[in-house]
Amino acid sequence: MALAGIGEVLGKRLEEKGFDKAYVVLGQFLVLKKDEELFRDWLKDTCSANVKQQGDCYSCLKEWCDAFL
Protein backbone atom coordinates (compact mmCIF):
# COMPACT_ATOMS: atom_id res chain seq x y z
CA MET A 1 0.00 0.00 0.00
CA ALA A 2 1.50 3.32 -1.04
CA LEU A 3 0.55 5.78 1.68
CA ALA A 4 2.84 7.99 3.73
CA GLY A 5 3.18 6.69 7.28
CA ILE A 6 1.85 3.24 6.38
CA GLY A 7 4.61 0.70 6.20
CA GLU A 8 4.51 -3.05 5.79
CA VAL A 9 3.26 -3.85 9.30
CA LEU A 10 0.47 -1.25 9.36
CA GLY A 11 -0.43 -2.09 5.77
CA LYS A 12 -0.90 -5.73 6.77
CA ARG A 13 -3.09 -4.75 9.72
CA LEU A 14 -5.24 -2.55 7.50
CA GLU A 15 -5.53 -5.32 4.89
CA GLU A 16 -6.73 -7.73 7.57
CA LYS A 17 -9.56 -5.30 8.37
CA GLY A 18 -10.60 -4.93 4.73
CA PHE A 19 -8.66 -1.75 3.93
CA ASP A 20 -6.52 -3.45 1.31
CA LYS A 21 -5.95 -0.54 -1.10
CA ALA A 22 -4.92 3.09 -0.69
CA TYR A 23 -8.17 4.22 -2.31
CA VAL A 24 -10.17 2.33 0.35
CA VAL A 25 -8.30 4.24 3.07
CA LEU A 26 -8.96 7.43 1.09
CA GLY A 27 -12.65 6.51 1.10
CA GLN A 28 -12.60 6.22 4.89
CA PHE A 29 -10.82 9.59 5.06
CA LEU A 30 -13.64 11.11 2.98
CA VAL A 31 -16.38 9.35 5.00
CA LEU A 32 -14.85 10.99 8.08
CA LYS A 33 -15.21 14.32 6.21
CA LYS A 34 -11.42 14.88 6.18
CA ASP A 35 -11.55 15.55 9.94
CA GLU A 36 -8.02 15.19 11.27
CA GLU A 37 -8.90 14.08 14.79
CA LEU A 38 -11.45 11.49 13.63
CA PHE A 39 -9.08 10.10 10.99
CA ARG A 40 -6.15 9.89 13.41
CA ASP A 41 -8.33 8.11 15.98
CA TRP A 42 -9.57 5.71 13.30
CA LEU A 43 -5.99 4.88 12.24
CA LYS A 44 -4.94 4.37 15.85
CA ASP A 45 -7.92 2.10 16.55
CA THR A 46 -7.75 0.20 13.25
CA CYS A 47 -4.04 -0.53 12.93
CA SER A 48 -2.34 0.90 16.06
CA ALA A 49 -0.61 3.68 14.11
CA ASN A 50 1.53 5.94 16.27
CA VAL A 51 1.23 9.75 16.29
CA LYS A 52 3.84 10.28 13.56
CA GLN A 53 2.33 7.63 11.30
CA GLN A 54 -1.14 9.09 11.81
CA GLY A 55 0.10 12.57 10.94
CA ASP A 56 2.02 11.44 7.87
CA CYS A 57 -0.95 9.54 6.49
CA TYR A 58 -3.42 12.35 7.23
CA SER A 59 -1.16 14.95 5.58
CA CYS A 60 -0.65 12.73 2.54
CA LEU A 61 -4.38 12.23 1.98
CA LYS A 62 -5.23 15.87 2.70
CA GLU A 63 -2.63 17.13 0.23
CA TRP A 64 -3.88 14.70 -2.43
CA CYS A 65 -7.49 15.81 -1.88
CA ASP A 66 -6.53 19.50 -1.97
CA ALA A 67 -4.74 18.96 -5.26
CA PHE A 68 -7.23 16.70 -7.05
CA LEU A 69 -10.71 17.15 -5.53
Domain residue ranges in the chain: 8-68
CATH class as words, domain 8-68: mainly alpha
pLDDT band, very low/low/confident/very high, at 5 (cuts 50, 70, 90): very high
35: left (phi over 0), alpha (psi -120 to 50) or beta: beta
- For 6-19, give one letter per residue: b (16+ CB within 10 A) or e: beeebbeebeeeeb
Asked if pLDDT for residue 1 goes beyond 80, the answer is no
Q: At residue 64, does pLDDT exceed 80?
A: yes
Q: Predicted confidence band at 12 (pLDDT cuts at 50, 70, 90)?
A: very high
* 7 φ/ψ angles, rounded to the nearest 5 degrees: -90, -165
* C-beta of residue 32 within 8 angstroms of C-beta of residue 45: no
CA atoms of 29 and 24, how far apart (whole Å): 9
Which 3 state secondary structure label does DSSP give 3? strand
